[in-house]
Amino acid sequence: MGIKERQERDREAVQRSILDAARELFVAEGFQNVSIRKIAERIEYSPAAIYGYFPSKDDIFFALAEEGFRLLGDPQAVRLDPLQDAPPLERIRALFWCLYEFSRDQPQYFALMFVDRSVPRISREYERFAFARERKQHILEELQACIDAGDLPKTLNAGVAMRALMVGVLGVAGLRLSDRLGPGEDPDLLAADVLNLTLAGLRSGVRLQSSGLTDCPLDIQTVADAQAS
pLDDT digit string (tens) for 141-198?
999 999 999 999 999 999 999 999 999 999 999 999 999 999 999 999 999 999 999 9
Question: Which residues of the chain are in CATH 1.10.10.60 domains?
Answer: 3-55
Topology, domain 65-228: Tetracycline Repressor; domain 2 (1.10.357)
Buried b (16+ CB within 10 A) or exposed e, 45-57: beeeebeebbeeb
Band (pLDDT 50/70/90 cuts) for residue 78 is very low
- Kindly tell me the sign of the dihedral angle through the C-alpha atoms of 104, 107, 109, 110: positive
- d(CA 90, CA 104) in angstroms, rounded, equals 21
Residue 72 CA to chain centroid, in angstroms?
6
Q: Which residue ranges does the chain devote to CATH 1.10.357? A: 65-228
Global pTM reads: 0.83
pLDDT digits (tens, 9 = 90+) for 97-130: 999 999 999 999 999 999 999 999 887 787 888 8
pLDDT tens, 189-224?
999 999 999 999 999 999 888 876 555 444 544 454
Does the domain made of 3-55 have the CATH classification 1.10.10.60?
A: yes
